[in-house]
Amino acid sequence: MIFDIIISGGNIVDGSNIPAFKSDVGIKGDRITAIGDLTGAESGENIDANGLVVSPGFIDIHTHSDFTLLVNGAAESQVH
């Protein structure tokens, strides 16, 4: 499979309450399409995440910026 982006060698923390594990993340378009050993896979861009934490798909929904909805109803501050 050819990916647009591969984030390689990061410590994956996926929110499932299991310990972090070292792996690669493959992205095609705007979707995570693979998590695992992607050694040898082709990609348009490779990001070296060795020594870094990668949280695929993680969105922090706990914020204290609810008041901004009154200013910007599109809630753009919640997704940036």
What domains are there in the chain, each with its CATH number?
A: 2-78 (2.30.40.10)
More confident site: 31 or 62:
31
34: tokens are 């693979």
Q: What pLDDT, on a 0 to 100 scale, did the predictor assign at position 65?
A: 65
- Cβ atoms < 10 Å from Cβ of 7: 24
Q: Smallest Cα–Cα separation from 36: which of 54, 52, 51?
A: 54
19 pLDDT above the threshold of 90: yes
Residue 8 exposure: Cα atoms within 13 Å on the Cβ side: 15
Average pLDDT, the chain: 86
Q: For residue 12, what are the CA distances in angstroms to 1, 2, 65?
A: 21, 21, 28
Mean pLDDT calculated for residue range 5-26: 93
- Please tell me whether residue 71 adopts helix, strand or coil conformation: helix
